[in-house]
A and B are shown apart, each in its own frame.
Chain A
Amino acid sequence: MTTTYRAPKMPTSMQRPGPPAAHNRPAWEEPPTKVGLASKGVVLGFAMLAILFPLWIVIVTSLSSKETITKAGGLVLIPREITFVAYRELLSGGQVSRATLVSLGVTLVGTLFSVTVSVLCAYGLSRSGSLWHRGILMTLLTTMFFTAGLIPTYLLVQSLGLTDTYLALILPSAVSVFNILVLRAFFMNVSQEIVDSARIDGAGDWRILWQIVLPLSRAVVAVIALFYAVGYWSAWFNASLYLNDHDMLPLQNVMIQVVQRQEPPTGLGQAVKAGPLSPLAVQMAVMVLAMLPVTVLSPFVQKHFKKGMLTGAVKG
């Protein structure tokens, strides 16, 4: 039996007065000066503001009524009321609704496919000394240095008959060798003893992957899934190359049309002209739709980013 030692709690009256400083600050380090701390705070605050302020304008304007937008002369800095009329219009059918669904669908299916393929490949290569393991690894690594270029890829995807199919948005970018390397590095760190004992107990590779390696690597799989999902969600270029049918375009491409070129989305031209809907609010709402999923998802896996990035970089 071991008992953990706990320092006896001091009564509050006996504790030293003064600021509750010293969060992990070692004894030898001089406490920061007031001026130093303040100026650091100002710089960091400015950096964060530079990111958050534009997003604030976009979000506030998307939630404003037509009157507020007219009164502000365009973009709104200070909210007067919150109205979801732009979102309601956009998501009740029409071009943006369809594009959002397309983006969600491609992202979900693509991420699932990419993660599955990458995890399988990473596990397959995670044991040094297994058959052809070196050769396959080299085959993958080479593509990180030699990329084929736009034109041959374009001709290939076209001649495979992928034009005007959603496969063209998934297959050409389905595998990232970097992500496979990150996963592989983590799988190799799973204790070999556990794997070997499972094997002796009769578990095959599928079972070892599913019941031992994957549960031990949840964090990194989550990070990789996020990377893939962000890639699919943000992609617009392949859609602009391979989709001629405008009804198939994903959200990013519709955002180019609606926000960058300022052509109102089809399906609600009337509501913009007659109704209580400002075209500016529509544009901003499209932008919020595009930023929402990644903004919500990324903080959940934030604490794992560092591990994922580094392992990949070091063990490549």
Chain B
Amino acid sequence: MKTAAARPSAGEDSAPGAEPPAPGADTAPPARIGRWAMFRLRLRRDGTRLWMTLPALLLVVVFAYVPILGNLVAFEEYDPYASDNGVVAMFHSAWVGLEQFTRIFEDPAFWDALQNTLVLFVLQLVLFFPIPIALALLINSFVRPRVRAVAQAVLYLPHFFSWVLVITVFQQIFGGAGIIAQILRQNGIEGFDLMTDPGLFKFLVTAEGVWKDAGWGIIVFLAALASVSPDLYEAAAVDGANRWRRMWHVTLPALRPVIALLLVLRVGDALTVGFEQILLQRDAVGPGASEVLDTYVWWNGIRNQDFSFAAAAGLVKGLVGITLVLIANKMAHLLGEQGVYRK
């Protein structure tokens, strides 16, 4: 990755016999050496490192790869009582092919959830995405380090709050017993409660997201701003550009790659619009306005114990997600930006 070319590393692909001495090897390798002997040498050199990666690797294999295989239940009629053990029960359940998927596409609730998800995604993109950029430009325009440090400390803070806390905080402001309702009630106006209003729910979710994470989002932009060479600004100023022209012609072009990258990531993750956050408020506003794909999976799988159906829904979401990542990345390449991964 970093200095692979700079140092003579003993790569797997290099031919045996023409090997330069492996750096850090305890014994100097003889001039001619077979593949197997080379492997044993490297194993001796890197054995400790391999042991060190083992715990993390095990956890990832067990809790990330095994469940990926577990998605096979989406093609079954999974019966949790077929065996004492949930995984073993998978092998005793009936194979039904694509039947679960047909059921999903015939379920109107699925299409509602999909629609809610997409509406929320668009809302978040339009109302949330520009705010960190604006905030970063604002903070960057203050030169006093003290002002910047204090502002950042305050703006980062809600990012570290749990969703439960964020929602209960919003409850104290916009809820039926919140401060706004309280002041209105003291002035004779009853019945203010945004937290249970299905009509405004999507805006509420977006506002909660902004409150929690907009401040945190400025970090990336601040770093990009810090890496702009001051010479560019100076040259622009000497050429007579005022502060707005400098922002338009120097700052924003410097931010463009970062903005493109974050847009690509966001589009690729379009179907994920805040699972925990929405699940916590599902009861208060009802599934009609709040059901998104993730909570749809939760409802059918965990609550209704219809595991195969829910796994199939999760699989649909995952496949669409991967497609979106690929499309977004392609778009970024077409626009001349780098995207998530390079070709």
Select the stretch in B105-113, B116-124, B150-158 that faces chain A: B150-158
Q: A11 in the interface, Cβ–Cβ < 8 Å?
A: no
Contact B177 A154 (CB under 8 A): no
C-alpha spacing A241/B143, complex, angstroms: 48
Interface residues in A111-133 (C-beta closer than 8 Å to B): 117-118, 120-121, 123-125, 127-133
Contacts of B68 in A (CB 8 A): 146, 148, 152
Contacts of B198 in A (CB 8 A): none
Q: A174 in the interface, Cβ–Cβ < 8 Å?
A: yes
Q: With A23-B144, A129-B10, A151-B301 in contact, do A290 and B162 touch (Cβ < 8 Å)?
A: yes
Chain A contact residues: helix, strand, loop or mixed: helix
Q: A26 in the interface, Cβ–Cβ < 8 Å?
A: yes
Contact A237 B157 (CB under 8 A): no
Contacts of A32 in B (CB 8 A): 141
Contact B53 A120 (CB under 8 A): yes
Interface string of B34-52 (1 = CB under 8 A from A): 0000010011011011111
A side interface size, CB within 8 A: 99
C-alpha spacing A150/B74, complex, angstroms: 12
Q: With A153-B63, A196-B23, A234-B162 in contact, do A48 and B230 touch (Cβ < 8 Å)?
A: no
Interface residues in B41-83 (C-beta closer than 8 Å to A): 42-43, 45-46, 48-53, 55-57, 59-71, 73, 80
Contact B179 A57 (CB under 8 A): yes
Q: In chain A, what residue has the closest Cβ to B258?
A: A313
Q: A139 in the interface, Cβ–Cβ < 8 Å?
A: yes
Interface residues in A166-201 (C-beta closer than 8 Å to B): 171-172, 174-175, 177, 180, 188, 192, 196, 199
Contacts of B298 in A (CB 8 A): 150
Q: In chain A, what residue has the closest Cβ to B44?
A: A131
Q: With A156-B86, A230-B160 in contact, do A40 and B138 touch (Cβ < 8 Å)?
A: yes
Q: In chain B, what residue has the closest Cβ to A74?
A: B182
Q: B194 in the interface, Cβ–Cβ < 8 Å?
A: no
From B88, B171, B238, give the contact of A159 (CB < 8 A).
B88
Q: A67 in the interface, Cβ–Cβ < 8 Å?
A: no
From A151, A233, A235, A309, give the contact of B310 (CB < 8 A).
A151
Q: With A74-B182, A117-B56 in contact, do A159 and B86 touch (Cβ < 8 Å)?
A: yes
C-alpha spacing A69/B173, complex, angstroms: 16
From A23, A156, A241, give the contact of B63 (CB < 8 A).
A156
Contact A302 B318 (CB under 8 A): no
Q: B30 in the interface, Cβ–Cβ < 8 Å?
A: no
Q: B339 in the interface, Cβ–Cβ < 8 Å?
A: no
Contact B318 A233 (CB under 8 A): no
C-alpha spacing A146/B66, complex, angstroms: 12
From B24, B164, B315, give the contact of A236 (CB < 8 A).
B164
Contact A149 B318 (CB under 8 A): yes
C-alpha spacing A128/B9, complex, angstroms: 8
Contact B222 A120 (CB under 8 A): no
Residues on B lying within 8 angstroms of A by beta carbon are 1-4, 7, 9-11, 23-24, 39, 42-43, 45-46, 48-53, 55-57, 59-71, 73, 80, 85-88, 90, 135, 138-139, 141-145, 149, 151-158, 160-165, 167-173, 177-179, 182, 185-186, 211, 215, 219-220, 222-223, 230, 233-234, 237-238, 242-243, 276, 279-280, 294, 297-298, 301-302, 307, 310-311, 314-315, 317-318, 322, 325
C-alpha spacing A120/B50, complex, angstroms: 10
Residue of B1, B80, B230, B279 with highest tally of chain A CB at under 10 A: B1
Contacts of B179 in A (CB 8 A): 57, 74-75, 77
Chain B contact residues: helix, strand, loop or mixed: helix
Contact A151 B162 (CB under 8 A): no
From A29, A43, A44, A156, give the contact of B70 (CB < 8 A).
A156
Contacts of A117 in B (CB 8 A): 55-56, 59
Q: A55 in the interface, Cβ–Cβ < 8 Å?
A: yes
13 more A-B residue pairs beyond the given contacts A24-B145, A127-B49, A205-B48, with a C-beta to C-beta distance below 8 A: A28-B237, A40-B141, A73-B182, A73-B185, A75-B178, A120-B55, A125-B49, A136-B57, A139-B60, A154-B302, A294-B161, A302-B153, A306-B219
Top 5 A-B pairs ranked by shortest CB distance? A129-B9, A152-B70, A148-B67, A234-B162, A121-B56
Contact A155 B86 (CB under 8 A): yes
C-alpha spacing A199/B60, complex, angstroms: 30
Contact A159 B87 (CB under 8 A): yes
Contacts of B23 in A (CB 8 A): 196
Residue of A55, A73, A123 with highest tally of chain B CB at under 10 A: A55
Contacts of A205 in B (CB 8 A): 48-49, 52
From B60, B85, B301, give the contact of A143 (CB < 8 A).
B60
Interface residues in A201-225 (C-beta closer than 8 Å to B): 204-206, 209
Query: Distance in Å from the Cβ of B238 to the closest Cβ of chain A?
Result: 7
Select the stretch in A87-95, A253-261, A265-273 that faces chain B: A253-261
Q: A291 in the interface, Cβ–Cβ < 8 Å?
A: yes
Query: Distance in Å from the Cβ of B129 to the closest Cβ of chain A?
Result: 16
Contact B302 A241 (CB under 8 A): yes
Interface residues in A282-316 (C-beta closer than 8 Å to B): 283-284, 287, 290-291, 294-295, 298-299, 302-303, 305-306, 309-310, 313, 315
Contacts of A29 in B (CB 8 A): 233, 237, 243
Contacts of A74 in B (CB 8 A): 177, 179, 182
Contact A294 B160 (CB under 8 A): yes
From B52, B143, B185, give the contact of A120 (CB < 8 A).
B52
From A24, A118, A150, A295, give the contact of B297 (CB < 8 A).
A150
* 13 A–B pairs (Cβ distance < 8 Å), ordered by A: A23-B144, A48-B154, A118-B56, A125-B53, A151-B70, A155-B87, A159-B85, A171-B63, A204-B48, A255-B164, A256-B280, A259-B168, A306-B223
